[in-house]
Amino acid sequence: MTILKHELRQGKTAFLVWTAAIALLLMICIFIFPEMKGDMDAIGEIFASMGSFTAAFGMDRLNIGTLPGFYAIECGNILGLGGALFASLAGISILSKEEKDKTAEFLLTHPVSRTRIVTEKLAAILAEVTAMNLVILALSLLSMRLIGEGIPWKEVLLVHGAYFLLQLELMGICFGISAFLHRGSAGIGLGLAVMMYFLNLIANMTEHAKFLKFITPFGYCEGASLIADGVLNTGYIAVGMLLACIGIAAAYWKYAVSW
């Protein structure tokens, strides 16, 4: 547990900043919903007439004049992108930073196995991502109560659950990449998260690019599909979790077996 506690202490500031930033943006969005609700008919028409971009953000299948629709589109994008960036950064740096900051010599000359190092570091980022999602979910629910809206439990939990899985997938993939890196890694993590986000936008624009949804985790976080179908897309999620597991297995293999 020493490495786990140490990593949580080391990552405390980044965790607090990212959690506060995402939660604050979500709360602002929720607080402006009552004001926007009255104008939503006109706004909805504008959003529905933007062609490919309407489809890209799933606004052709969702009524953003309702709290579930508004939450899935507006808040979903903030939670999706913010959470993806945090999870990717946490995953990509957790192993590689030891080489980059030259602290590997300190850590690896103590009597701890490399497997234990990988396990405790993985547990640390998993704990951070989970805690961030729980805090954000709690503050979102509180905000909905404060604006006097009824909480659409199923829709909110579906959106948060899907984005949590997205973060786990990106975290797992980045964790695997991290074991192979020796220098700066933040760019790779951020780049991967942003690339996945845009792949989903492209997949939404044209049927020809639909296969991209199997690659990007944003494919199973589509607010419109989640609200309309009322379930998570298990096919996309299975592929995503498989990729996360491959990433984690690669990290163990590289760091603890073939170093």
Give dist(CA 172, CA 124) in Å, integer: 13
**Closer CB to other proteins, 37 or 116, in the complex:** 116
**Closer CB to other proteins, 99 or 149, in the complex:** 99
Q: Is the dihedral of CA 140, 142, 147, 151 positive or negative?
A: positive
109-148 residues in contact with other proteins (CB under 8 A) are 109-113
217-236 residues in contact with other proteins (CB under 8 A) are none
**Closer CB to other proteins, 102 or 208, in the complex:** 102
Give dist(CA 246, CA 251) in Å, integer: 9
7-36 residues in contact with other proteins (CB under 8 A) are 10
Q: Does 6 bind other proteins (CB under 8 A)?
A: yes
Q: Does 187 bind other proteins (CB under 8 A)?
A: no
For the bound state, the minimum distance from the C-beta of residue 105 to other proteins, rounded and expressed in Å, comes to 5
> In this structure, which amino acid lies at residue 83?
G
State the Cα angle at 127 between 133 and 121, rounded to 5°. 140
For the bound state, the minimum distance from the C-beta of residue 102 to other proteins, rounded and expressed in Å, comes to 4
Q: Does 153 bind other proteins (CB under 8 A)?
A: no
Q: Does 150 bind other proteins (CB under 8 A)?
A: no
Q: Which pair of tokens denotes residue 146?
A: 């404060």
For the bound state, the minimum distance from the C-beta of residue 13 to other proteins, rounded and expressed in Å, comes to 8
Q: Does 249 bind other proteins (CB under 8 A)?
A: no
State the Cα angle at 87 between 203 and 220, rounded to 5°. 30
Give dist(CA 68, CA 216) in Å, integer: 23
Q: Over the Cα atoms of the chain, what is R_g?
A: 19
69-108 residues in contact with other proteins (CB under 8 A) are 101-108
**Closer CB to other proteins, 28 or 108, in the complex:** 108
Give Dmax (Cα) for the chain: 65
Total residues belonging to the chain: 259
- Site of interaction with other proteins (CB under 8 A): 2-3, 6, 10, 101-113, 259
